[in-house]
Amino acid sequence: MLENKWMRAAAPALLIHCSIGTVYCWSTFKARIAEEIGMSPFAVGWAFSLAIFFLGMSAAFAGRMVEKDIKRSSLLACVCFTVGMLGTGLCVQFAKGWAALAGIYIFYGCIMGIGLGVGYLTPVKTLMLWFADRKGLATGISIMGFGLAKAIATPFMELIQSRLGLAQMFYILGAVYFVMMMLGHWLIRKPPEWHEPDDARDGFRLLSMFRNPVFLGIWIMFFLNIHCGLALITYEKQIVQLTFRDAACLAALVSIVPSVTAAFNALGRIGYSTVSDKMKDRNTVYKIIFTSCIVICATAFATSAIANPSSSMVLGALAAVMLFTVNFGYGGGFSTLPALLASRFGMEKISKIHGLALSAWAAAGLTGNNMSQIILQGAGEGHSDIGYGRILIAVTILYAVGLAISALVVGNGRSR
């Protein structure tokens, strides 16, 4: 009964990804952590950047382990992720100042980040093996869970924080995610007919992939999509406040926009990857993502540059559409990546190659939101509208670079 693709691949993938995807709930408790330990939100914010960095780098170097033994990798992901959650709670409850901050960097940033990277990578190849004819749908199911985690977990986090406290939230959710991820660990299994080739002497060198122009093009393309996405997604609240100047609807919008954008992020993950199964070349998805983001960001900039104060509803509506479009493409870029890599390099080493490609996520986690912060600081206090326009110019140019790489470098051929 259990030996089918839904129980051995889809269910464990969702259990694992719906747990680790809560890393994107960071904004729900970032300010509260800063208040509890007596540090600035900016200093605390580096914990999230470290988590994304270690996510990407651990995935880059965990591919060999995932290829050989998904049971070991799923267990390691479970232990690291939940230890990171529980350790963060202990730091919040029992430490203050720099000691607490260092502990949060170690537990939330480093240890939990390793669990994120290994856990993110673990189910992907297994899904593509079980769903051999629908690889895009398979990875979309799993990675949609990563995107949906924010929408699912945020209300529970807010409820537990308000009723029991911040540290208790980490303890309770750490225990819940331990159970979920252990169940995923117990269920996950590759198809019985699949046997991993002996790679001890296959001559495969991970870093040599960067000398392959197709892989390098995919890496840069993936990096740019995440970088630009984070540059806008991490400032969603500020963009809504800047463009919607009508006080009557602003409060409601600030509360619902994050949930709606999270839904678009998740829909993009399942939507784009599923559509890619019907396309002759999966790279077409990236061309659509970059083109749509170029059009909406350029339109938003042009409108904001010529608008007058009375047109705030138009500006706000256009900004909301822009955030929805960017989130949709941001999620779709993640879910389409594994199948795109498989179409170019085959299935034999896909965990290693996919993991290496995720190092782009690590780099973008350090650059995306910080680019926006630097631009806003450069515009000066009281000139957020100027900074917003400059951010739109920057991401539009970078999306255009991504489109050029997608068309001219990645192309539609297979590479080995």
DSSP 197-245: ---TTS---GGGGGGSHHHHHHHHHHHHHHHHHHHHHTTHHHHHHHH--
The pLDDT score that the predictor gives to residue 72 is: 92
Could you tell me the pLDDT band of residue 82, with boundaries at 50, 70 and 90? Answer: very high
The pLDDT score that the predictor gives to residue 167 is: 94
Could you tell me the pLDDT band of residue 172, with boundaries at 50, 70 and 90? Answer: very high
Q: Tell me the angle at which helices 384-405 and 359-379 cross, rounded to the nearest 10 degrees.
A: 150
Residue with tokens 């390098």: 216
Yes or no: say if 124 and 137 are a contact pair by the CB < 8 Å rule.
Answer: no
Yes or no: say if 235 and 372 are a contact pair by the CB < 8 Å rule.
Answer: yes
**Amino acid symbol at 17:** H
Could you tell me the pLDDT band of residue 223, with boundaries at 50, 70 and 90? Answer: very high
The pLDDT score that the predictor gives to residue 246 is: 57
Give me the domains of the chain, ranges plus CATH numbers: 1-190 (1.20.1250.20), 207-416 (1.20.1250.20)
Instruction: Compute the average pLDDT of residues 8-26.
Output: 88
The pLDDT score that the predictor gives to residue 252 is: 57
Look over the chain and give the mean of its residue pLDDT values, rounded to a whole number.
85
Residues 247-261: tens digit of each pLDDT: 555 555 666 776 788
Yes or no: say if 2 and 132 are a contact pair by the CB < 8 Å rule.
Answer: no
Residues 24-56: tens digit of each pLDDT: 888 788 889 999 999 988 888 889 889 988 998
Torsion of CA 331, 109, 184, 124, to 10 degrees: 40
Could you tell me the pLDDT band of residue 397, with boundaries at 50, 70 and 90? Answer: very high
Yes or no: say if 120 and 20 are a contact pair by the CB < 8 Å rule.
Answer: yes
Q: Alpha-carbon distance 401 to 412, whole Å?
A: 18
Instruction: Compute the average pLDDT of residues 113-119.
Output: 93
Query: Taking CA 287 as the corner, what is the angle to CA 413 and CA 371, rounded to the nearest 5 degrees?
Result: 120
Prediction pTM value: 0.83
Instruction: Compute the average pLDDT of residues 395-408.
Output: 96
Query: In this predicted model, which residue has the larger pLDDT, 305 or 356?
Result: 356
Instruction: Compute the average pLDDT of residues 322-333.
Output: 92
Query: Taking CA 257 as the corner, what is the angle to CA 251 and CA 263, rounded to the nearest 5 degrees?
Result: 155
Query: Taking CA 364 as the corner, what is the angle to CA 363 and CA 367, rounded to the nearest 5 degrees?
Result: 95
Q: At residue 201, does pLDDT exceed 60?
A: no
Query: In this predicted model, which residue has the larger pLDDT, 192 or 343?
Result: 343
Q: At residue 416, does pLDDT exceed 50?
A: no
Q: Alpha-carbon distance 342 to 128, whole Å?
A: 9
Who contacts 184 (Cβ-Cβ below 8 Å, separation ≥6)? 11, 12, 13, 14, 15, 16, 19, 74, 78, 123
Count of alpha carbons within 13 angstroms of residue 13, beta-carbon side? 29
Q: At residue 368, does pLDDT exceed 90?
A: no
The pLDDT score that the predictor gives to residue 179 is: 96
The pLDDT score that the predictor gives to residue 292 is: 96
Instruction: Compute the average pLDDT of residues 67-92.
Output: 93
Percentage of the chain modeled with pLDDT above 70: 89
Q: Alpha-carbon distance 256 to 251, whole Å?
A: 9
The pLDDT score that the predictor gives to residue 126 is: 85
